[in-house]
Chain A
Amino acid sequence: MDTLNALVAFSNFVAIPAVAYGSQLALGALGVTLVYGVLRFSNFAHGDTMAFGAMIVVLLTWLLQSWGVSLGPLPTALLALPVGIIVTAGLLVATDQLVYRFYRKHKSPPVIFLIVSLGVMFIMNGLVRFVIGPGDQRFFDGQRFIVSVREFKAMTGLREGLAIKTTQGLTVVTAVIVVAVLFWFLNKTRTGKSMRAYSDNEDLALLSGINPERVVLVTWLIVAALATVAGALYGLDKSFKPFVYFQLLLPVFASAIVGGLGNPVGAIAGGFVIAFSEVTVTYAWKKVLVYALPDQWEPSGLMQLLTTDYKFAVSFVILVIVLLFRPTGLFRGKAL
């Protein structure tokens, strides 16, 4: 038995990737939850909004790279991020004005909005593929690791190595900052409170002089920021491929629903629940168990419950379980 090595292997292959993935899901789920809370519909176009935002960041990064601009050890994409957010915000506001506003005026039921968002999803889907193509794009540059396996081994003398990728560190740090700013905004500023008020009780908000169009506008701006950051971080961490963002819709929605739709705290918790479940269920535990168990118990198989091909099934199963036993989610959704 070798607890220390087991712990290192666990951190390296399960905990660290799951925390990074969880942060990305949390950011995505926050966007979904905000749209649900304020505009009261499930925005199926969110995955492709993330793809669009990430695409703009990719293109700008390439442009900056061609100019020879770099951030040293950090990826150049960070410089492109603010512009990416602005362009995505433009797209979302335009979509809202052209499409969603019509249905708001007609006071359409949420299910109509949901179907409309499905249409928007396909258009964005096509738009992204039209511009950048369906292929895999790499746009990461800078230093690859904060801590590399070799350094770690030399430092500690352990058999197992531990690596922290720059993108993983960056993802977590960015997520923490974004979430902190978002919560400050929602709880402490007048605009944020208007959003909460509108989400809590629309009739009363209107009769308190809150302009619904303003609240909706601000919501889309925030959603654009969240989607672009989430999309770009995911792209940096893995790679950018439009279809992957479409697939990401399921875990993102699962996160938002598991936490409780409309509840920002829930979205974050849900993101980590889904990420940890996905990683633990699809990880081959042999490596950790070799250290954790007495020698005679050493497993002969891989100790992998599901292959990674099934990772989306994990979100789906969790989603079904939550909807069956606690439909409002872990944190009682519905109000911001």
Chain B
Amino acid sequence: MIKVENLHKHFGGFHAVDGASLEIAEGSITGLIGPNGAGKTTLFNVIAGVHAPTSGRVTLKGEDITGLPPHELFHKGVLRTFQIAHEFSSMTCRENLMMVPAGQSGETLWNTWFGRKKIAEEEEALRAKADEVLEFLTISHLADHKAGQVSGGQKKLLELGRTMMVDAKIVFLDEVGAGVNRTLLNTIGDAIIRLNKERGYTFVVIEHDMDFIGRLCDPVICMAEGKVLAEGTLEEIKANEHVIEAYLGTGLKNKQKGAA
């Protein structure tokens, strides 16, 4: 579904993504793992249009989407969440969700003044949908709380909820589980599986929790130093020599470097 070809992203002399190529199959939940600094988040940022790539190509179902700005990708159904949960802090959780679907008729200045009825009907439907999503995520009681004041884990749920407000095609989740307790992590996992099964969302998940990856993801892609190191099931990845080396480093290699 998403194909990344020989993608480079350089920040000055630092090659954050250094020739990564990978393909995400439609309907899959692909795990993206790798040590810190492997370039996973940068890869996400480039695919999601936050950064323009230095070189390389990203295609969505054959269509070139390289370097499109985020709001246009959003309209194509490409969504992402952030490693550190983002929220509109001065709005309530419900309003946060209601912000999401783009192209609402209230967006034109004309309708703001002269299309009140149409907007009211739309907002009614949106409100119902937002409440449904909050229910699904088991945070209905937070609907009227300011999003800036809820806990970190609840903000993560809200991030996931945002992707449920529209018909996403592919969702990039950047460490949804970071800083989240086990119970909540399971809730998030359940939600991801349900969205994948019921709505056919494709997911790409960056995560450090291997149990979580093992439960959800097939295949798993391992990155290190800006390159794709290996791809396969979690078991295959775990057994892969290069992967172990990337995570743990090999004493032998370091010694050789030291000697030289």
A221 to B48, CA, bound (A): 30
Complex contact A335–B107 (CB within 8 A): no
Q: In the complex the two chains form, is B109's CB within 8 Å of A191's CB?
A: yes
Contacting pair B75 A196 (CB below 8 A)? no
Q: Return chain A residues, CB-CB under 8 Å to B94.
A: none
A177-192 interface with B by 8 A CB criterion: 185, 189-192
Instruction: Name A203's closest neighbour in chain B (CB-CB).
Output: B86
Which residues of A have CB within 8 Å of B80? 207
- The answer on a CB contact under 8 Å between A201 and B89 is yes
CA distance in complex: A30, B106 (Å): 23
Q: Is B71 an interface residue (CB 8 A)?
A: yes
Stretch of B1-9, B12-20, B95-103, B219-227 on the interface side: B95-103
Which residues in chain A, 235-267, are within 8 Å of chain B measured between CB atoms? Answer: none
**Which partner residue on chain B sits nearest A218 by CB separation?**
B109
Contact B112 A193 (CB under 8 A): no
Do A206 and B112 have beta carbons less than 8 Å apart? Answer: no
Q: Contact: A210 with B71, CB < 8 Å?
A: yes
Starting from the known contacts A200-B89, A204-B82, A207-B79, 11 additional A-B residue pairs (CB-CB under 8 Å) come to A190-B105, A190-B119, A193-B99, A200-B90, A201-B89, A206-B70, A207-B80, A208-B102, A211-B102, A214-B107, A335-B90
Q: Assess whether A203 is in contact with B82, with CB atoms less than 8 Å apart.
A: yes
How far apart are A333's CB and chain B's nearest CB, in angstroms? 12
Q: Does residue A194 face the partner (Cβ distance < 8 Å to B)?
A: yes
Contact of B91 among A196, A203, A207, A211 (CB under 8 A): A196
Interface bracket on B? 20 to 34
Query: From B75, which residue of chain A is reached at the shortest CB distance?
Result: A209
For residue B201, CB closer than 8 A to chain A, the reply is no
Does any Cβ of B come within 8 Å of A197's Cβ? yes
Task: Give the interface of B toward A (CB within 8 A).
Answer: 48, 50, 69-71, 74-75, 79-80, 82, 86-91, 95, 99-109, 112, 119, 123, 162, 166
Residues of B within 8 A of A211 (CB): 71, 102
Nearest B-chain residue to A190, judged by Cβ: B106
Given contacts A203-B50, A209-B102, contact A189 B112 (CB under 8 A): yes
Q: Say whether A204 contacts B112, CB under 8 Å.
A: no
Contact of A206 among B71, B87, B104, B162 (CB under 8 A): B71
Complex Cα spacing A29 to B157, Å: 38
**Majority SS at the chain B contact face:** loop
- State the Cβ distance, A141 to closest chain B Cβ, in Å: 31
With CB as the reference atom, state the residue of chain B lying closest to A194: B107
> How many of chain A's residues touch chain B, expressed as a range?
20 to 34
Looking at the assembled complex, report how far the CB atom of B197 sits from the nearest CB atom of chain A, in whole angstroms.
24
Q: How far is the CB of A185 from chain B (nearest CB, A)?
A: 7
| CA gap between A200 and B91 in the complex, in Å | 9
* Nearest 9 A/B pairs, CB to CB: A190-B106, A209-B102, A209-B74, A206-B70, A204-B86, A200-B88, A189-B112, A197-B88, A208-B100
Contact B86 A201 (CB under 8 A): yes
Complex partner residue of A191 from B48, B75, B112, CB under 8 angstroms:
B112
Known pairs A191-B112, A194-B99; A201 contacts B107 (CB<8 A): no
Interface contact A197-B102, CB-CB below 8 Å: no
Chain B residue with Cβ nearest A189? B112
A–B pairs, 28, beta carbons within 8 Å: A190-B106, A190-B119, A190-B123, A191-B106, A191-B108, A191-B109, A196-B88, A196-B91, A197-B91, A200-B89, A200-B91, A201-B88, A201-B89, A203-B82, A204-B82, A206-B69, A206-B70, A206-B71, A207-B71, A208-B100, A208-B102, A209-B71, A209-B74, A209-B102, A209-B166, A210-B102, A211-B102, A336-B90
